[in-house]
Amino acid sequence: MIGELVLAMEAVAPRRLAAAWDNTGLLLGDPSRELRRALLTIDLTHAVLDEAIAAKCQAIIAYHPPIFEPLKQLTAMHAHEQILLRCAENKIAILSPHTALDAVCGGMTDWLADLIDTGARVALEPSAQFHSPTQEAPSERMLNQARARATIAGKPQIHGQGRALTLIKPRATNAIAKQLRTSLRLSAGDVAYCELQKSRRHTCVAVVPGSGASLLTMAIEAGCSLMVTGEAKHHDVIHAREMNCDIILLGHTNSERGFMPHFAKQLQPHVPQVRLLVSKRDQHPLRCV
């Protein structure tokens, strides 16, 4: 059932770890409906929905929540409204983990950090608490699984947004950018970076998938001299330079999409009867020319 997938997501990326402004969990659909196939994607577009319908999926897990701000109407006047209506018409549920998946230990942020180095890391913005008494209590099994994921090399880790990654060996900005480009299979034009000094080597790197400029001050306070993220506004990049912090921009979804197969593997043991598919039509909306 769809409800079992909701519980699986809660076990892998508990909603209580999501940012206060976020919208995660089951966004559309009936938890009691049968579930045989689910499609994982970063963005839910018409192309991805066509793919889900062709694959006879009953659910879509969209990392970016298709319902984010409160809806006042559903009229098919806008693309996102058309997609929601098509999902409802085809009885396809929509779920989203978003910043809960960013924050959880072993989630998207740690995956991106691991592509740089396997060194020690701490959350830039630690989650206030793992369990809030105002929310429904998770099962003991879920808590044990979360505790296991939050332990690395026998040392307890703290869930939260972003990571301050201590490199095993100091490395230069361009060397890290090249490694990420190779690991993520990106072209040279997909990755942008600024370096204050070519000979500068970093020992502590801030890692934030997606758009991480809001954590820049926390990164600098944590001793990071380089931030790796997906995108940043022009003035955020200027601010980083003025604060003597190098920055690497991978492209928003380029810093996220590669984690989807790993996310499917994390979910699969919780829903062994469900076939989890990773979208082949989900792609970055921009192309370099």
**CATH code of the domain covering residue 15:** 3.40.1390.30
Number of domains in the chain: 2
Q: Which residue reads 């502590």 in tokens?
A: 204
Least confident of 84-98, 180-194, 266-280: 180-194
> What mean pLDDT do residues 188-208 have?
91
Give just the sign of the alpha carbon dihedral 186, 245, 99, 119.
Answer: positive
Q: Percentage of the chain with pLDDT > 70? A: 89
Are residues 117 and 203 both part of a single domain? yes
Q: Is 32 part of a structural domain of the chain?
A: yes
pLDDT in the model for residue 153: 42
Residue 138 has pLDDT above 70, yes or no: no
Q: Give pLDDT tens digits for 120-132.
A: 999 999 987 544 3
Are residues 39 and 126 both part of a single domain? no
Please tell me the pTM assigned to this model.
0.87
Are residues 146 and 53 both part of a single domain? no
> What mean pLDDT do residues 84-103 have?
96
Are residues 211 and 166 both part of a single domain? yes
Output the six-digit token pair for 75.
């009229």
Instruction: Give the list of residues 6+ apart from residue 45 with CB closer than 8 angstroms, or none.
Output: 83, 281, 282
Strand order in the sheet with 160-172: 121-126, 160-172, 201-211, 226-231, 246-249, 192-194
More confident residue, 229 or 133: 229
pLDDT in the model for residue 141: 52
Are residues 54 and 79 both part of a single domain? yes
What is the rounded average pLDDT for all residues in the chain?
89
Output the six-digit token pair for 214.
């809001």
Are residues 92 and 127 both part of a single domain? no
CB atoms within 10 A of CB 51: 19
pLDDT in the model for residue 131: 41
pLDDT band at 149 (very low <50, low <70, confident <90, very high): very low
- Domain limits at 120? 104-249
pLDDT in the model for residue 287: 77
Q: Give pLDDT tens digits for 217-262.
A: 999 999 999 999 999 999 999 999 999 999 999 999 999 999 999 9
